[in-house]
């Protein structure tokens, strides 16, 4: 936690022994260890609470994202349905135009051309000379 090595710990012990003396040093160490334990537990509790809050924030964010995704899916489905209905209407209109085209082609037919014989027909009228005879 404080990143204190063995050499630093021995140095602190020697300074404490010189300053406090041998009678009060064990009591001071006990008190110091109690305070360090409380401090460590407090830091652990704070860290756990922050992790829970972050976890709760993640859950809230995830729920928010899921609600957005469900709204997006519903919107996508409604757009697909609208597109399908427009497509069906287009096909119906296309079929109506096809049937109208057939109706118009039945009504408006090109004029019939007179049949032309392959061989010229023999003259049916007799010439004036033949009638006189």
Nearest to 80, CA basis, from 72, 41, 10: 72
- pLDDT greater at residue 5 or residue 131: 5
Q: Can you give the residue ranges of every domain in the chain? A: 6-105
CA distance 100 to 112: 23
Structure confidence by residue, pLDDT tens digits, 47-93: 999 888 888 778 888 888 899 999 999 999 999 999 999 999 999 98
pTM above 0.95, yes or no: no
Structure-token pair, residue 71: 């709204």
Q: Residue 133's pLDDT band (boundaries 50, 70, 90)? A: low
DSSP secondary structure letter of residue 114: P
Q: Residue 4's pLDDT band (boundaries 50, 70, 90)? A: confident
Residue range 101-109: mean pLDDT, rounded: 65
- pLDDT greater at residue 81 or residue 122: 81
104 has a pLDDT exceeding 70: no
Q: Residue 121's pLDDT band (boundaries 50, 70, 90)? A: low
């Amino acid at each position: 936690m404080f990143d204190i090595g063995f050499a630093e710990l021995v140095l602190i012990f020697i300074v404490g022994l010189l300053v406090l003396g041998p009678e009060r040093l064990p009591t001071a160490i006990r008190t110091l260890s109690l305070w360090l334990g409380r401090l460590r537990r407090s830091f652990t509790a704070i860290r756990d609470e922050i992790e829970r809050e972050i976890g709760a924030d993640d859950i809230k964010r995830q729920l928010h994202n899921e609600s957005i995704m469900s709204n997006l899916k519903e919107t996508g489905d409604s757009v697909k349905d609208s597109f399908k209905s427009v497509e069906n209407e287009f096909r119906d209109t296309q079929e109506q135009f096809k049937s109208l085209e057939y109706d118009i082609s039945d009504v408006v037919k090109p004029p019939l051309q007179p049949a032309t014989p392959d061989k010229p027909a023999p003259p049916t009228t007799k010439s004036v000379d033949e009638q006189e005879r």
